[in-house]
C-alpha cells in the first residue's frame, strides 16, 4: 500500500503573470530549486523526476541544470492537465518501493505569452481529432462546453451554478497576493454580461492563460520527519482511464457525464482511511467551471446530477461545506496545468494558505476531468 | 477550414462519406455485430478483428451543442458565432458524431440561427465537400 508512506516536504513556485521574460526551462529550474530549498534537501540528492508529457523541459535538462545526482526514476504522464496529480503519485510509488529516495515533480509553462496549443494545425493532441476539429470543435472550451450544455439540460444546472464556482475561486484569489486576479473582484453582473467563448461558457468560465512554474518534493515518511516543514502525507493516489474512454474528450462512451473522475475516485477512496465527508478542503481542477460540479459528483461529494446544486449557499467558500481552490485555482490564481492546486493543498495542510481553512487536516487534489485523470488525497 | 487528419482506422468512414453514405464500423463476428465509434482495429465486446462498415439511416438527434465565438482559427472566426453539435444516431443512440447544423448541405457553419437549436431536435445527414474531403453536415428535420 502507498498509504502515508511518502510525503510532500517541499514546494516552490515562480511568479505568475501573463508574460514572464524568462524561458520555460529557466522557470522550471527556479521552481525546482525553490521546492528543494523549502524541503531543506540538496539538489545533488534528487534521484527521481516526474512531469507531464506536455512539459517541454525534459528531466535531462532540469537534472543537469540543478546539479542532480544519479537519477534512477523518471516518468512523464500524458493527457494534459489530467496528469497533474499523477506526477506526485508516480514519485510516491517510486519512493515507497525503493526505486528512488528524493523525487521532484514540476510543471513549467508559458501559456500566457506562448502559443495556444489548439492553434497548432499540424500537430494534434492525443485526441480523436479527425472526428471533432474539422467541425469547429477547436478548443478545449468548445469540447467542455458540449458536456456543460448537456449537463445543464439533464440536471437543471444553471449559469448561476457555474458562477458560484468562478466566484469562489476569485474570492480566494482576492486573498492571495501571488494570484493573477488578486486585486480584481468578480461580480455576478460582470459574469452574466461577459463575452461568450463557447456558449454556454463565457469568459469567466475559462481558466487564465499564465506564465509560471511550480514544483514539489516527495520523500519517504521516515525521511520527512527530518525535514524542516510539516510533512504532508500522500494518503491515497489514483489515476483514471475509464472503460471506452477516448483521448481528450469523452463523447463516445455510454455516459459522457460520468468521466474519468468517477474511475479515479473509486480507487482513491478504496485505499483511504476516510471518505468525502471527511475532506476539510479540496483543490478541484478548474480549467473550466463545469469541471467542478462534474468532479464533485465523480469524487462522491454529492449524487449524480447534484453538483450544480451543491455549489449553492456559499458551499465552496471558506466556512462552507467544501472550501475549494483556496489559492484561486486555475480560474483566478494561475493556470499551470493544475500544479498550483497541488502546492495549495500542501499549504493548507501546513496551515500557511492565504485563505486558511481552520485546522485543515485532509485535502483532496484532483487533475483535469474529462481527460484521463488522476487525484491524490493529502493529510497532515 | 481544417480537413480531417485521417488515420488508417478512420479512412473507410471518409471514403464512404465521399460516396454520400454514412457508415459506422461494426463487428462482423457471428453473434456479435456491435457497432463501435471511433473506429479501432478490433471489437471491444468480443475481440474479433473481423469488421464491416454498416450503412446508417442518416437520421439522428442533437445530443448537445456549443456556439463558439472568437478567438478561433481564421476560417472559423470568419463564420463565428457558428454551431457545433453532437448528433446521436437514431440507429445507435450511443454512437455520437460531431458536426454542424446547416441550412443546406453546402451552406456555411453559421447558416442556421443558433436560437433554433434544441437538444433532442431531429436532424438528418447531408454531405458537402471541403478542402477536397467530403464531410457530413446535419439538416434540421423541421427546417
Mean pLDDT by 10 residues, chain B (143 residues): 90 97 97 95 97 98 98 96 98 94 97 97 97 96 83
Rounded to whole angstroms, how far apart are CA atoms A228 and A9? 8
A171, A188 contact by CB (below 8 A) = no
- Give the model confidence (pLDDT) of A130-189 as tens digits: 999 999 999 999 999 999 999 999 999 999 999 999 999 999 999 999 999 999 999 999
Residue A149 parent element (H or E): helix A140-155
CA B88 to chain A, closest CA, distance in angstroms equals 10
Residue A314 lies in a domain: yes
Catalytic residues of A: 285, 335
- Give the model confidence (pLDDT) of A203-260 as tens digits: 999 999 999 999 999 999 999 999 999 999 999 999 999 998 987 788 998 899 999 9
Cα→Cα distances A353→A40, A279, A298, A334, Å: 20, 16, 26, 15
pTM: 0.97
Annotate A187-206 with b (16+ C-beta within 10 A) or e (fewer). Answer: eeebbeeeebbbbbbbebbb
CA B68 to chain A, closest CA, distance in angstroms equals 4
Write the CATH number for A329: 3.40.47.10
What residues in A contact B69, CB-CB < 8 Å? Answer: 195-199
CB pairs A-B closer than 8 Å? 103
Residue A172 lies in a domain: no
CA B33 to chain A, closest CA, distance in angstroms equals 17
Residue A147 lies in a domain: no
Best A134, A154, A203 residue to mutate vs chain B (most B CBs within 10 Å)? A134
Sign of CA pseudo-dihedral A269, A274, A277, A279? negative
Q: In chain B, whose CA is at the least distance from the CA of A141?
A: B68
| A198 to B68: CB separation less than 8 angstroms, yes or no | yes
| B97 to A246: CB separation less than 8 angstroms, yes or no | no
Cell numbers describing residue A59: 528531466
Name the band, by pLDDT with cuts 50, 70 and 90, for residue A126: very low
Residue A232 lies in a domain: yes
pLDDT of A277 over the 90 cut: yes
| B86 to A196: CB separation less than 8 angstroms, yes or no | no
What residues in A contact B75, CB-CB < 8 Å? Answer: none
pLDDT of A361 over the 70 cut: yes
Facing residues of A239 across strands?
A374
Q: Which of A219, A222, A234, A232 is nearest to A41 (CA)?
A: A219
Rounded to whole angstroms, how far apart are CA atoms A82 and A63? 24
Cell numbers describing residue A117: 496549443
- Containing structural domain, residue A57: 6-114+208-379
ipTM computed for the complex: 0.97
Q: In chain B, whose CA is at the least distance from the CA of A154?
A: B119
Annotate A277-289 with b (16+ C-beta within 10 A) or e (fewer). Answer: eebbbbbbbbbbb
Pairing of strands A201-202, A281-283: unpaired
Q: Residue B100: which of A136, A195, A251 has the nearest Cβ? A: A136
Given this model, what pLDDT does residue B93 score? 86
CA A68 to chain B, closest CA, distance in angstroms equals 41
Q: Which residues does A158 contact at the CB level (< 8 Å), separation at least 6?
A: A152, A308
Task: Give the phi and the psi of residue B90 in degrees, each rounded to 5.
Answer: -60, -35
- Residue A299 CA to its chain's centroid (Å): 14
pLDDT of A127 over the 60 cut: no
- Give the model confidence (pLDDT) of A313-355 as tens digits: 999 999 999 999 999 999 999 999 999 999 999 999 999 999 9
CA B123 to chain A, closest CA, distance in angstroms equals 16
Q: In chain A, whose CA is at the least distance from the CA of B39?
A: A128
Residue A84 parent element (H or E): helix A84-96
A250, A260 contact by CB (below 8 A) = yes
Q: Residue A121: which of B2, B69, B81 has the nearest Cβ? A: B2
| A196 to B100: CB separation less than 8 angstroms, yes or no | no
What residues in A contact B72, CB-CB < 8 Å? Answer: 136, 138-139
Residue found under cell 493529510: A379
Per the structure, how many domains does chain A have? 1
| B38 to A128: CB separation less than 8 angstroms, yes or no | yes
Amino acid at each position: 500500500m502507498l498509504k502515508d508512506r511518502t510525503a510532500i516536504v517541499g514546494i516552490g513556485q515562480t511568479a505568475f503573470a501573463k508574460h514572464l521574460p524568462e524561458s520555460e526551462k529557466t522557470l522550471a529550474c527556479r521552481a525546482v530549486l525553490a521546492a528543494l530549498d523549502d524541503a531543506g534537501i540538496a539538489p545533488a540528492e534528487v534521484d527521481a523526476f516526474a512531469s507531464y508529457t506536455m512539459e517541454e523541459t525534459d528531466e535531462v535538462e532540469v537534472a543537469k541544470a540543478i546539479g542532480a545526482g544519479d537519477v534512477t526514476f523518471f516518468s512523464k504522464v500524458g493527457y494534459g492537465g489530467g496528469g497533474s496529480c499523477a506526477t506526485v503519485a508516480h514519485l510516491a510509488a517510486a519512493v515507497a518501493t525503493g526505486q528512488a529516495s528524493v523525487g521532484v515533480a514540476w510543471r513549467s509553462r508559458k501559456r500566457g505569452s506562448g502559443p495556444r496549443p489548439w492553434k497548432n494545425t499540424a500537430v494534434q493532441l492525443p485526441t480523436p481529432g479527425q472526428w471533432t476539429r474539422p467541425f469547429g470543435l477547436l478548443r478545449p472550451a468548445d469540447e467542455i462546453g458540449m458536456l456543460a450544455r448537456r449537463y445543464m439540460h439533464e440536471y437543471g444546472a444553471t449559469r448561476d451554478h457555474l458562477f458560484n464556482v468562478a466566484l469562489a475561486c476569485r474570492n480566494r484569489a482576492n486573498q492571495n497576493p501571488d494570484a493573477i486576479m488578486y486585486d480584481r473582484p468578480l461580480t455576478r453582473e460582470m459574469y452574466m454580461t461577459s463575452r461568450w467563448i463557447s456558449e454556454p461558457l463565457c469568459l469567466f468560465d475559462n481558466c487564465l492563460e499564465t506564465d509560471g512554474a511550480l514544483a514539489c518534493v516527495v520523500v519517504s515518511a521516515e525521511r520527512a520527519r527530518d525535514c524542516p516543514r510539516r510533512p504532508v502525507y500522500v494518503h491515497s493516489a489514483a489515476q483514471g482511464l475509464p472503460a471506452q474512454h477516448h483521448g481528450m474528450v469523452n463523447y463516445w462512451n455510454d455516459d459522457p457525464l460520468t468521466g474519468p473522475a468517477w474511475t479515479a475516485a473509486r480507487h482513491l477512496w478504496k485505499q483511504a482511511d476516510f471518505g468525502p465527508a471527511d475532506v476539510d478542503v479540496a483543490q478541484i481542477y478548474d480549467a473550466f467551471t463545469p469541471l467542478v460540479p462534474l468532479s464533485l459528483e465523480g469524487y462522491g461529494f454529492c449524487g449524480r446530477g447534484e453538483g450544480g446544486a451543491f455549489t449553492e449557499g456559499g458551499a465552496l467558500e471558506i466556512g462552507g461545506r467544501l472550501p475549494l481552490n483556496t489559492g484561486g485555482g486555475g480560474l483566478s490564481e494561475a493556470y499551470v496545468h493544475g500544479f498550483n492546486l497541488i502546492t495549495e493543498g500542501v499549504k493548507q495542510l501546513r496551515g500557511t494558505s492565504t485563505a486558511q481553512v481552520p485546522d485543515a487536516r485532509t485535502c483532496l487534489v484532483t487533475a483535469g476531468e474529462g481527460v484521463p485523470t488522476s487525484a491524490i488525497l493529502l493529510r497532515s | 477550414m481544417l480537413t480531417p487528419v485521417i488515420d488508417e482506422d478512420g479512412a473507410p468512414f471518409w471514403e464512404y462519406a465521399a460516396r454520400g453514405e454514412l457508415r459506422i464500423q461494426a463487428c462482423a463476428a457471428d453473434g456479435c455485430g456491435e457497432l463501435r465509434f471511433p473506429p479501432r482495429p478490433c471489437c471491444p465486446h468480443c475481440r474479433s478483428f473481423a469488421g464491416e462498415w454498416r450503412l446508417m439511416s442518416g437520421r439522428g438527434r442533437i445530443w448537445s451543442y456549443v456556439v463558439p465565438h472568437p478567438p478561433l482559427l481564421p476560417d472559423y472566426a470568419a463564420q463565428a458565432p457558428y454551431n457545433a453539435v453532437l448528433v446521436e444516431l437514431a440507429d445507435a443512440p450511443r454512437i455520437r458524431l460531431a458536426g454542424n447544423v446547416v441550412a443546406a448541405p453546402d451552406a456555411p457553419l453559421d447558416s442556421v440561427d443558433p436560437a433554433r437549436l434544441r437538444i433532442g431536435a431531429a436532424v438528418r445527414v447531408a454531405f458537402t465537400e471541403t478542402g477536397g474531403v467530403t464531410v457530413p453536415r446535419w439538416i434540421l428535420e423541421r427546417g
